[in-house]
Chains A and B, each alone.
Chain A
Amino acid sequence: AQSVTQLDSQVPVFEEAPVELRCNYSSSVSVYLFWYVQYPNQGLQLLLKYLSGSTLVKGINGFEAEFNKSQTSFHLRKPSVHISDTAEYFCAVSALNNAGNMLTFGGGTRLMVKP
């Protein structure tokens, strides 16, 4: 089984400041890693994913994440945030040996960008 911990439930930050949203996972098997974003009253949208290869992954809207296997982490970063980045962010994992689409999500981090 897998579990995902997002260490911060809320992250307030000023516009144009850098931000890091933290994600740690636990799994007995190798996993794929994902970050999703949810805007108010909407479904989830994929920001980026790590399947294999380079541990630094670039996604949409200027976000990037780094996979650290030894620390079992997949932190999300953006060098300069905008007001429009205000949303809830979810880290998720999927086991490599799972035949299908089944994600385990973290509890979410609410990013609040202030002017």
Chain B
Amino acid sequence: KAGVTQTPRYLIKTRGQQVTLSCSPISGHRSVSWYQQTPGQGLQFLFEYFSETQRNKGNFPGRFSGRQFSNSRSEMNVSTLELGDSALYLCASSLDESPTNEKLFFGSGTQLSVL
């Protein structure tokens, strides 16, 4: 069974641009979560989608948005990029058969560099 796939693996953008990151969950998983990882702030929750609906949202500005498609694949978008958006963006998927974080499967992430 394929794991969580994130594309692209690396991305370089300049300030003011926008970027779209993609995440394909494990087959059958309906929950997809996104996290931002930086050396200074650590791992921070961005948002979670379940059955195409945003179920939870972290404390990030509106420049960060996401969506989930009917096949459970998810994308996140960051508009008007700032230098501080440079980070590893991790996606995690879950079967979500119970209302607990029984087990999240993480992808290897997309490393975004903003110049």
Query: Is the Cβ of A105 less than 8 Å from the Cβ of B42?
Result: yes
Query: Is the Cβ of A101 less than 8 Å from the Cβ of B96?
Result: yes
Binary per-residue interface labels of chain A (21-65) against chain B in the complex, 1 for a CB within 8 Å, 0 otherwise: 000000000001010100001111110010100000000000000
Contact of A100 among B44, B56, B90, B109 (CB under 8 A): B56
Q: Which of B56, B58, B94, B104 has the most CB of A within 10 A?
A: B104
B75: interface (CB < 8 Å) = no
Binary per-residue interface labels of chain B (49-60) against chain A in the complex, 1 for a CB within 8 Å, 0 otherwise: 010000110100
Please give me the residue from chain B that is nearest to A98 by CB atom. B56
Binary per-residue interface labels of chain A (82-95) against chain B in the complex, 1 for a CB within 8 Å, 0 otherwise: 00000000101010
Query: Is the Cβ of A107 less than 8 Å from the Cβ of B104?
Result: no
- Chain B interface size band reads 20 to 34
Interface residues of B in 34-68 (CB under 8 A from A): 35, 42-45, 48, 50, 55-56, 58
Known A41-B108, A43-B90, A44-B106: A100·B55 in contact at CB below 8 Å: yes
Nearest CB of chain A from residue B51's CB, rounded to whole Å: 11
A residues near B104, Cβ cutoff 8 Å: 44, 46, 101, 103
5 A-B contacts (beta carbon < 8 Å): A44-B92, A51-B100, A96-B100, A100-B55, A105-B44
Q: Which residues of B contact A (CB under 8 A)?
A: 4, 31, 33, 35, 42-45, 48, 50, 55-56, 58, 90, 92, 94, 96, 99-104, 106-109
